[in-house]
Amino acid sequence: MTAQDATTAPGTPTAPDSPAPPAGDRPAPPARSRAAALGGWALTIGLNVAAPILTYNALRDHGWSEFAALLASGAWPVLDSAVHLAWRRRFDEFAVVTLVFLVITAVVSVVGPRSALSLLIKDSAVTGLFGLLCLVTLLAPRPLMFYFGRKFATDGTAASTAWWNGLWEYAGFRTTLRTMTTVWGVAYCLEAGVRIALACTLSTDTMVTLSPVLIYGVLGALALWTAAYGKRARRKGEQHAAAMTAAQA
């Protein structure tokens, strides 16, 4: 969901239970750099998809075992998280979640049976754990997608962060983010189940290529759905605002 979508989601800022605040009472949505966004996605895809596959195949060609090559190729996603953390230069809730999952991934990679199959299953279980975390945070004051949205819909400045935090007072904004959190949670739980089943069926070489495709395929599908859902929410908000204006007139 983009910053512009968030401002006009149902209930934001024209919810019937909350009067619309004057435009000057809150910061405007932050300007977004398309070049920076594309660069970030290129870096993410390169370090999380291309680099692990190339590293695994190169190490296998040099006689490494499947387990050792798979474990070594997993260093690239760790580097990606470190680069983004250094880029942002601050430790927010998103960074905490990323660090926790990096620690969990590292622990499960070295604990238990040391085989390529077990490593693939553990890796899939971690994404399933992310899905469960999404669903569990629905019981918290703010769901996980609130913090993810704040990372990607703002530029990290105090003004844009305050703008995003202020949107939480609107019922429609809360409903939108809780719906997104639910969809992401269910999707990643299902994705983990599918990848575990495939890991038990297909060869390791096939899964090394297929696994990141599944991970980022699901991520891409969820991103497209999120954008479409945000736009639909904006249209509903605009229609509701028009209806309220007509009724008041």
pLDDT tens string 118-147: 777 877 887 888 899 999 999 999 999 998
Q: What type of residue sits at position 123?
A: D
Range among 49-58, 80-89, 224-233 rated most confident: 224-233
Q: What percentage of residues in the chain have a pLDDT greater than 90?
A: 15
Q: Using alpha carbons, list the distances in angstroms from residue 113 to 13, 63, 109, 119, 205.
A: 53, 21, 9, 8, 19
Q: Which of 72, 48, 70 is nearest to 118 (CA)?
A: 70
Q: How many Cα atoms within 13 Å fall on the side-chain side of residue 46?
A: 9
Cβ atoms of 59 and 68 within 8 Å: the answer is yes
* pLDDT tens digits, 5-39: 433 333 333 333 333 343 334 445 555 556 665 66
Q: At what angle do helices 116-136 and 93-110 cross, to 10 degrees?
A: 150
pTM passes above 0.85: no
Q: Is 70 exceeded by the pLDDT of residue 2?
A: no
